[in-house]
Amino acid sequence: MSFRSLSALPPVFSSLVRTTSIVSRIPPLTSRFLHSRKRAPVIPHTSIQIFREVPEFRIWRRKQLLDHRTIGLVPTMGALHEGHLSLIRMAAAENHNVVVSVYVNPTQFGVHEDLDSYPKTWEKDCEMLKRLDKEIAGDGGNLGKVAAVFAPTTDVMYPSGPPSQEVNGKGSFVTITPAGELLEGASRPTFFRGVATVCMKLFNIVTPEKVYFGQKDVQQTVVIRKMVKDFCLGTDVVVGATQREADGLALSSRNVYLGTRRRKIATVLSKALRVAEAAYGRGCRSRDEILGPANELTKLLLREQYQLEPHERVKFEVDYLSLADLDTMEELDEVDSTRGAILSGAVKMLPVESPQPGEDLGLSDGPAVRLIDNIILKSKQMASSI
């Protein structure tokens, strides 16, 4: 694709293309890349192209624009599971081309967090994308397909050099406050700075019409919506429902750290959120009435664990249970039922005591695992529109 083909378009059409806001967001291509004809590698036996560099991706992106093909971006850190696939399905239903980014972003990991051990399952991810693309093609209801994976290196994403993970680190960062300082941001002070920064980069590179995020990371969706609004980014943020295991545990790439013993108790958070939701359903509106039963349940479940022998039990710490505003994530004393609210929580599952010979401790010998989850308390209008 070259500028020649753009100028070869009929005048009305080409001026239409030129005035589209996305065109102005795609930087001009240099002649080196205009003349490059090399096609990106693909996931074997698929047409899903793999891009690792920005210029090659932009050539492909420009062609999609000129062909009037819309792009839906699903940002991920890989280690794909059904939660990711559900977002990709949504994106394929609403866009011609889905781009899945796979990048474990260092700046959202605190210095003592699990950047080095974060699960990396590239081959399996490619296999899952291949199967999903077949499924999408076989389902007549879809507009699009999985067209590309953008899997850059850190040199590509942070061209000025390795980024700082320190709280006071210098660098080109996007910060969204106060939303990014509360709850998850209070426990992980560099987390939302890293997320907003990498998402700003991904949005600038991919220039998607729509971006897809999971409800499981609800505060992330609040931060990203705010970033899109406040930086006047021309993309729509779509949020997909949380996918769960049969017992209610929210799917998460980090669940592989749990191992068998902790996995059984890991439902503590989803159970606590459900009892709080039930209180709201019974007409409770105050913070104490809604969060009280959830706090009681976590205490009861922990007491049960302490009655077991060290080699059987699981210890956990509740970081927070929150009742917060839908747009700002600020804590509420009372839910306005014409608005609804976000119930959310975080629980740290501690490494098991007295591991037994041959016990499945989980990936990397089962470090502490932070679980997060949430439920939206629906407003009367939301409830009646379902």
Ligand X SMILES: CC(C)(CO)[C@@H](O)C(=O)[O-]
In the list 125, 133, 217, 319, the residue contacting ligand BAL (rule: CB under 6 A) is 217
> Closest approach of Cβ 202 to ligand ATP, in Å?
12
Active site residue 81: no
91 vs 372 by CB, closer to ligand BAL = 372
> Closest approach of Cβ 14 to ligand X, in Å?
35
108 vs 142 by CB, closer to ligand BAL = 108
Contact between 211 and 224 (Cβ < 8 Å): yes
Contact between 132 and 88 (Cβ < 8 Å): yes
- Those residues whose C-beta lies under 8 Å from the C-beta of residue 375, and which sit 6 or more positions away, are 273, 274, 276, 277, 342, 343, 344
* Residue closest to 313 by CA, chosen among 355, 368, 346, 342: 355
Q: Which two tokens stand for residue 115?
A: 């950047």
In the list 57, 59, 60, 83, the residue contacting ligand ATP (rule: CB under 6 A) is 83
Point out the catalytic residue in the list 84, 96, 112, 311. Answer: 84
3-class secondary structure, 214: strand
- Looking up tokens 């696939």 gives 85
Is 250 among the residues that bind ligand ATP (CB under 6 A)?
A: yes
Using CB under 6 A, list all residues that contact ligand X: 75-77, 105, 108, 195, 198-199, 217, 220
**Stretch binding ligand ATP (CB under 6 A), from 18-26, 29-37, 208-216, 275-283:** 208-216
Residue 365 DSSP symbol: G
In the list 144, 163, 240, 366, the residue contacting ligand ATP (rule: CB under 6 A) is 240
Entry field: residues in the chain: 386
Question: Left if phi > 0, otherwise alpha if psi is -120 to 50, otherwise beta: which for 232?
Answer: left
Give the CA distances from residue 25 to residues 92, 133, 206, 233, 366, in Å, rounded to whole numbers and listed in that order.
23, 29, 10, 10, 44
185 vs 340 by CB, closer to ligand X = 185
Is 214 among the residues that bind ligand ATP (CB under 6 A)?
A: yes
In the list 70, 101, 165, 253, the residue contacting ligand ATP (rule: CB under 6 A) is 253
Q: Which does 83 bind (CB under 5 to 8 A by kind): ligand ATP, ligand BAL, ligand X, none?
A: ligand ATP
Q: Which of residues 100-139 bind ligand BAL (CB under 6 A)?
A: 108
H helical segments located in 20-175:
21-25, 31-34, 54-66, 82-94, 122-138, 154-157
* 97 alpha carbon, distance to own chain's centre: 19
Is 344 among the residues that bind ligand ATP (CB under 6 A)?
A: no
- Those residues whose C-beta lies under 8 Å from the C-beta of residue 346, and which sit 6 or more positions away, are 183, 184, 187, 269, 318, 319, 320, 370, 371, 372
Q: Which does 242 bind (CB under 5 to 8 A by kind): ligand BAL, ligand X, ligand ATP, none?
A: ligand ATP
77 vs 276 by CB, closer to ligand X = 77
Give the CA distances from residue 231 to residues 160, 214, 323, in Å, rounded to whole numbers and listed in that order.
22, 21, 28
Q: Which does 84 bind (CB under 5 to 8 A by kind): ligand X, ligand ATP, ligand BAL, none?
A: ligand ATP
> Closest approach of Cβ 299 to ligand ATP, in Å?
26
Burial of 359 (0-12, 13-18, 19+ CB in 10 A): middle
Q: Which does 185 bind (CB under 5 to 8 A by kind): ligand BAL, ligand X, ligand ATP, none?
A: none
Active site residues: 84
Q: Which residues contribute to the site for ligand BAL (CB under 6 A)?
A: 108, 217
Q: Which residues contribute to the site for ligand ATP (CB under 6 A)?
A: 76-77, 83-84, 86-87, 213-214, 216-217, 240, 242-243, 250-254
